[in-house]
Structure 1
Amino acid sequence: MLKKLQILSLALLSSLSLSVSADCKLSVRVFDFAPQFVQDEQGQWQGMAVELIEAVLQEANCSAQFNNISWKRALHLLEHGGLDIMLNMSITAQRQKYLHFIGPLRDETMILVTPRGLESEISNLSDIKKLTRRVGILRGAYYGTEFAQKMQQDTGFSEKFEEANSTDVNIGKLKKQRIAGFFNDKYNASYILQNKLDGTQYKIQPLILNQDFVYIGVSKKSVSAETRELLDRAFTRAQSKGTLKKILTKYGDSSP
């Protein structure tokens, strides 16, 4: 009798998984920025972040519909049910109200990219106030608790920043000497210095703005609790198989 009950339970769980994944197509935010997201000539999306989410979705028998959306706009859509998934997200109290976090996906270290001829080294946040030009930041991005507090409490500090919708915009501003530098993840910044900026003219400053894990953010508004649970289990399987680590290693990301 016990064996029959166990078989029945397994059958019910299997049926639940199949019902959730039968038509499991989830919208995923992308943005044309290598090496995380790259759109080829045929319009197909590739890159490290794309491969990571595809590996998780494959384990869940789901597929992705990629939507090219700015960071700030994507946050709004996630909150209101117009988008299902966004990658490389830091956990904040505000985001936890409308997002379910899966991961951690990888380790992220936020740093500052500037010209090599900058007037002084930037080793801490207070040094930024010495700069004669502003620093570029992404609209809606999270740069850590210390940065957020200083932005609220120190007007002289908060006036030193200029928002943009993308890192490419900040790169363009830096080349034209409109900003003193911009914040970015260290992994992405290393790629930028090799492919989008002349590494002999620009560098990464000693300042470590924030270091923390980033996650897959799943909308609580548009994605059911059953599907979120399915994705949790899929991530665990992809991680235990070493699939995610292989992708990170392939792209030269040394995240644990």
Structure 2
Amino acid sequence: MIKLVFWMCIGWLFFPAHATKPTLNFYTEISPPGNYLDESGILVGSSVEMIEELNRIASYRVKSHVFPWTRAYQKVLKRPNSAIFSISRTPQREDLFHWVGPLLRVKWVLYKHRDSQIEIANLDDAKQLTSIAATRNDAKADYLLSLGFKNLDLSEDNIGRMRKLYANHNDVILTSNLGVERLAELALQDPEHLEIALEVKSSDIYLAFNKETDQQIIDDYKRAFEVLQKSPIYYEILVKWYGEKATHEIFQSIGLKWAFTERTYH
């Protein structure tokens, strides 16, 4: 059932808008915990909740679609008044979209199974691995390819990639630090069996609009993001999905003041 929903439009998941505003089309992939389908086939996740709030503040009705990453990316490139989330902002993509965010900052990490004997100290070591599981046309994979990596096992099945790591079909998996535990759980694996092999770099992720989208829409969403980021709702969403300590680190990484709690972290 999930596979059927995966290829289809999810439906009217977000808030209604003023009658004179156009309906927007937003595209995403299955990439927990930012965006994925729950057991009922409903699109959920930290990024989904942020987007819902942006739609509410900006007062637009949005139709949400879930596709494999490459298809979602290509559709937004070709369709005005559409957007994709969550997407890394890279120099190669800079002029292809209008950018709203950053929603948050993530680390690109190579993870291994804890029973693995693999030890890598840098990216040159990683080039010598037999196989690295990565997502096709993803910014993380593209970054390694630009550095001359020849050992990437590329697919668009994020859950399947995690299962292959646990089955020892790949040496490591390239993914973000904030989503790896939930991804392992969806693959029916124990996230406690994952270990960091190497931190690659950090990246900000965004909501990105088609370049031909009406400027008024872009302006509305940029203003909405400013409102959201200054509100307790933004903090509450992050705490819900990532916990308080990780949320504190996210706030620090993107230069936000810690304004919504007086708790101390160790």
- The answer to whether the superposition gives a TM-score over 0.5 is yes
CA displacement at 1:164 relative to structure 2: 0.6
Supply the AA of the counterpart residue of 1:202: L
CA contact (8 A) 1:78 1:85 kept: yes
Residues 228 and 251 of structure 1: CA distance in aligned 2, closer, same or farther (over 3 Å): same
| More helix by percentage | 1
CA displacement at 1:44 relative to structure 2: 2.9
Supply the AA of the counterpart residue of 1:224: D
Per-residue CA deviations over 1:128-169 (Å, capped at 9, x if unaligned) read 1332x3101111111289635412xxxxxx221111113112
CA contact (8 A) 2:25 2:81 kept: yes
Structure 2 Cα separation of the partners of residues 73 and 145 of structure 1: 16
- 2:85 aligns to what SS in structure 1? strand
Higher relative contact order (CA 8 A, sep 6+): 1
Per-residue CA deviations over 1:162-209 (Å, capped at 9, x if unaligned) read 11113112113223322112101001113334564224543222x111
Structure 2 residue aligned with 1:136? 133
Structure 1 Cα separation of the partners of residues 60 and 233 of structure 2: 16
CA contact (8 A) 1:137 1:183 kept: yes
The higher radius of gyration belongs to: 1
- 1:140 aligns to what SS in structure 2? coil
Pick from 91, 102, 105 the counterpart of residue 103 of structure 2: 105
- 1:97 aligns to what SS in structure 2? helix
Structure 1 Cα separation of the partners of residues 218 and 112 of structure 2: 40
Structure 1 Cα separation of the partners of residues 229 and 79 of structure 2: 27
CA displacement at 1:65 relative to structure 2: 1.0
Structure 1 residue aligned with 2:223? 233
- 1:143 aligns to what SS in structure 2? helix
Residue correspondences, number: 229
Structure 2 residue aligned with 1:214? 205
> Cα RMSD over matched residues?
2.5
Q: Give the TM-score taking structure 1 as reference length.
A: 0.80
Q: Give the TM-score taking structure 2 as reference length.
A: 0.77
Which 10-residue stretch deviates more, 91-100 or 101-110? 91-100
Pick from 184, 195, 202 the counterpart of residue 203 of structure 1: 195
Structure 2 residue aligned with 1:45? 43
